[in-house]
C-alpha cells in the first residue's frame, strides 16, 4: 500500500525540513518489507488571491484530487479522534490487509479543511486539542507514520 502525505504549503530548509526528511528516509527503508511502500510527500502551494471559505474549499479540492480512486483518506483536524500510536498502526494494518492501494494523510492550510473533505474522510485524526505550527504537525505526522511501521514490524523504536 502506498503511503502519501499531502499538505498545503511548501516545506522550506530548516530544522523541520531536516527532521521530516530524516523520518521520510526511515519510512522508505522500513516500509517496503511491510508492503507499505512507496512513501511520498505531495505539497500544494496555498492558492493566491483567495481567502476564507473559498480558499479552504480550493485547498481541500487540491488535497482530494491527490488521492487516487479507492484510496483511504485521512484528514488531520482539531475535531478528529485522538488515537494511540498502536491504534494508528492498527488502522494502517487493516487498510493494507484489506487491499487498499493507498492511504493519503491530508494536512490542510491555516484555515483547516472544507467540511466536505472531512465528511468524505475514512478517518479524521487530531494530535490533541492544542494548535501546533503547520510544519511541526507535518513532522509529528511523519514521525507517527514511522512509529506505526515500527510497531507493525516489531522494531524496538516503539516501546509501549
Phi, psi of 37 (to 5 degrees): -155, 155
Q: Tell me the pLDDT band of 160, cut-offs 50, 70 and 90.
A: low
Residues 6 or more apart whose CB falls under 8 angstroms from that of 29 comprise: none
Residues 6 or more apart whose CB falls under 8 angstroms from that of 94 comprise: none
Cell of 144: 507517527
Residue 46 belongs to a domain with what CATH number?
3.40.1280.10
Q: Is residue 57 part of a domain?
A: yes
Q: Is residue 116 part of a domain?
A: yes
Give the residue with greater pLDDT, 106 vs 129.
106
Q: Is residue 45 part of a domain?
A: yes
Compute the distance between CA of residue 90 and CA of residue 148 in angstroms, rounded to an integer: 8
Q: Is residue 49 part of a domain?
A: yes
| Total domains in the fold of the chain | 1
Check: CB of residue 24 under 8 Å from CB of residue 39.
yes
Cell of 106: 491530508
| Distance between start and end Cα atoms, the chain | 25
Range of the domain at 8: 2-153
Q: Is residue 159 part of a domain?
A: no
Q: Containing H/E element for 81?
A: strand 72-81
Average confidence (pLDDT) over 59-84: 95
* pLDDT tens digits along 17-69: 999 999 999 999 999 999 999 999 999 987 888 888 899 999 999 999 999 99
- pTM metric for this prediction: 0.94
Q: Is residue 160 part of a domain?
A: no
Q: Is residue 158 part of a domain?
A: no
Residues 6 or more apart whose CB falls under 8 angstroms from that of 121 comprise: 73, 74, 75, 106
Amino acid at each position: 500500500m502506498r503511503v502519501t502525505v499531502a499538505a498545503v504549503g511548501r516545506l522550506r530548509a530548516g530544522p523541520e525540513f531536516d527532521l521530516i526528511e530524516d523520518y521520510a528516509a526511515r519510512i522508505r527503508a522500513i516500509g517496503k518489507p511491510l508492503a507499505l511502500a512507496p512513501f511520498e510527500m505531495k505539497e500544494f502551494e496555498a492558492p493566491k488571491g483567495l481567502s476564507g471559505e473559498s480558499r479552504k474549499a480550493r485547498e481541500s479540492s487540491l488535497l482530494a484530487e491527490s488521492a487516487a480512486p479507492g484510496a483511504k483518506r485521512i484528514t488531520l483536524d482539531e475535531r478528529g479522534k485522538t488515537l494511540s500510536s498502536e491504534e494508528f498502526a492498527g488502522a494502517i494494518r487493516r487498510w493494507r490487509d484489506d487491499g487498499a492501494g493507498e492511504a493519503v494523510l491530508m494536512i490542510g492550510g491555516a484555515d483547516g479543511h472544507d467540511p466536505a473533505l472531512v465528511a468524505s474522510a475514512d478517518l479524521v485524526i487530531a494530535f490533541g486539542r492544542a494548535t501546533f505550527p503547520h510544519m511541526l504537525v507535518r513532522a509529528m505526522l511523519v514521525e507517527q507514520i514511522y512509529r506505526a511501521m515500527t510497531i507493525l514490524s516489531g522494531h524496538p523504536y516503539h516501546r509501549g
